[in-house]
Amino acid sequence: MVRRALPAAAPILNEAALHPVLRRVYAARGITAIEQLDQRLTRLADPVLLGGLDHACALLAAAIVAQQSILIVGDFDADGATGTAVAIRGLGLLGAQRVAFRVPNRAIHGYGLSPALVAELALAPPQLLITVDNGIACHAGVQAALALGCRVIITDHHVPGSQLPAADAVVNPNLPGDGFPSKALAGVGVMFYLLLALRAHLRGSDFFSTERPEPDLSVLLDLVAIGTVADLVPLDFNNRVLVAAGLRRIQAGRAAIGVNAIIRAAGRDPARIDAADLGFVVGPRINAAGRLEDMSIGIHCLLSESAEQAQILAARLDGINAERRGVQAEMVAEAEAWLQHFHPDHAQLPPALCLFDATWHPGVIGLVASRIKDRVHRPTIAFAPAATDGRELRGSARSIPGLHLRDALAAVDARHPGWILKFGGHAMAAGLSLQRQHFDRFAAAFAEVVRERVDPAWLEALLYSDGTLADDDCDLALACALRAGGPWGQGFPEPLFDGEFQIESARLLGTRHLALKLRCCQSARVFEAVHFGAFTGQLPSGRWHYAYQVQVDEWRNQHRLRLLIRQALPVLAATAS
């Protein structure tokens, strides 16, 4: 465990209205001015700074005026699903009347705008095709769409390769030389910015009138928030503004009907949802449809105008997610068994791991890669058969801080042309496909590239703490201040504290969780705490060093302080004395 150090030149915010612990937490995350906490929508980066919008808006405006057919091609994850829903609803608000969507099937079409998907459009091709959260690596698919007579707009946030597809317009903040200040926009965020720019374009051409009023696009921000958090993009200032605005809509009961239905199907109250819930409750239920069945189920739920239909679809998503958890648990157990057999001593692990099993489901390998990466703190790629013949493998990769995954894959591809059939992604997550016959050689080559690029110290898993808390600070007021001080998430982590406690009592919650009463070793105060998944067959006792979060525990309309344990280390008797 490492305690965060305050930047040497960063003064703690001198803002009396903020809890002193929250001021310290903000300073450790680089927040030095109160303006950096201003989450009003007027603080968003200006859309004019995002390249490619002028041409895209001209194409879209012409399509709306002429009532051309528009097809949205989304991705099969929560970012792609919410981005597709934002595109459908937003274009409808702006006057488009002939808008449909398609999402590729993993097994049939592969990823993104593929030639296989475009081939299915040949009988009735759309006049304008827009990708959401994909397309920047879909050269062949774009060419196929252009050959059908479609105009093509790519909206994506993934890092491009050395050449761009031959689309009519490309909107991506990560294009070389693009001046947009937030490179962390998710796919749904890119689409939302395109709609903002399109509204301004239409306004400038006097498109709106008394009979056709200018729409309020902030009604889409609940979807933008979900996709942003679920895609694990860094919550830089711009993304925090987007997520905070979306959370306000959800908490105020003004979210889309389908969003409310998903939240309630999960047994949660929309008024009490926070950013973590978007990532661990809402996002996985949308993602599950794309992993095991058809992502269109999730998109139809998000677009539903009927509370009854939304409830039915949300219940179906909840059931698919339960099935996903079972499949994931089995696959993760198999991966861990493989690790234990071949690498019982994790200290001797190679710098990167490539895992493959012929029985694994391609829709769940990303979750397996993520879990194994978290366990061993190594860049990890999990592979599954891409088709029934097993000759082609599809891989999903997850990285650790310091290694840019897409760049690492590009280095392997440059050294060994032809091994990787296609790849794409960004710093922390990527996808690829390769022939089964190249798997072993690819695994060795990937490990070699990672070894060259990663400092061995980066392979040590570190938990960062915001330090200890004085007794006077650790109370319900702090818990409320921290909850309101977010949104917390990727790149802007939720505050974590640490200290030594004596266990006063411990009892089992369910079959795997612990409910604890902890006495602070620096005082006589006793705290209620919970440690999920920590039961190992024997209830703990004695003195422990805990890393914990300070939370508001809401039970039967009562609010009380609770510590959520994230890491537990026993304190040796000699040390304790």
Q: Where are the beta strands (DSSP E) in 399-531?
A: 420-425, 429-435, 464-465, 497-509, 513-520, 526-531
Torsion of CA 508, 514, 519, 520, to 10 degrees: 170
Rounded to whole angstroms, how far apart are CA atoms 220 and 222?
Answer: 6
Candidates 354, 257, 361, 357; CA nearest to 309 is 257
Quick one: 189 and 170 in the same domain? yes
In the structure, what pLDDT confidence band is assigned to residue 573 with cuts at 50, 70 and 90?
low
| Residue indicated by tokens 């007027």 | 42
Q: Where are the beta strands (DSSP E) in 313-391?
A: 353-356, 380-385
Question: Contact, 476 vs 13, CB < 8 A?
Answer: no
Quick one: 248 and 138 in the same domain? yes
Quick one: 194 and 279 in the same domain? yes
26 lies in some domain: no
331 lies in some domain: no
Quick one: 114 and 248 in the same domain? yes
Amino acid type, 132:
V
Rounded to whole angstroms, how far apart are CA atoms 478 and 305?
Answer: 40
In the structure, what pLDDT confidence band is assigned to residue 185 with cuts at 50, 70 and 90?
very high
572 lies in some domain: yes
| Structure-model confidence comparison of residues 291 and 504, the more confident one | 504
529 lies in some domain: yes
3 lies in some domain: no
Rounded to whole angstroms, how far apart are CA atoms 226 and 229?
Answer: 5
Give the pLDDT score at 577.
43
Q: Where are the beta strands (DSSP E) in 133-230?
A: 151-155, 169-171
75 lies in some domain: yes
CATH of the domain at 99: 3.90.1640.30
Quick one: 528 and 482 in the same domain? yes
> What residues make up the domain containing 61?
43-318
**Tell me: the pLDDT tens digits for 333-364?**
999 998 888 777 666 788 999 999 999 999 89
Quick one: 413 and 535 in the same domain? no
Report the first-to-last Cα separation within the chain, whole angstroms.
21
Quick one: 239 and 352 in the same domain? no
Rounded to whole angstroms, how far apart are CA atoms 434 and 420?
Answer: 5
Rounded to whole angstroms, how far apart are CA atoms 328 and 332?
Answer: 6
CATH of the domain at 429: 3.10.310.30
In the structure, what pLDDT confidence band is assigned to residue 254 with cuts at 50, 70 and 90?
very high
Rounded to whole angstroms, how far apart are CA atoms 561 and 476?
Answer: 5
Rounded to whole angstroms, how far apart are CA atoms 232 and 240?
Answer: 12
Quick one: 214 and 307 in the same domain? yes
Identify the domain boundary among 277, 303, 318: 318
**Element of type H or E holding 130:** strand 128-132
Rounded to whole angstroms, how far apart are CA atoms 4 and 18?
Answer: 20
Quick one: 470 and 450 in the same domain? no
Quick one: 374 and 301 in the same domain? no
The DSSP secondary-structure symbol of 278 reads: I
**Tell me: the pLDDT tens digits for 149-174?**
999 999 999 989 889 999 999 999 99
Q: How many domains does the chain have?
A: 3
Question: Contact, 139 vs 123, CB < 8 A?
Answer: no
> Whats the size of the chain, residue-wise?
577
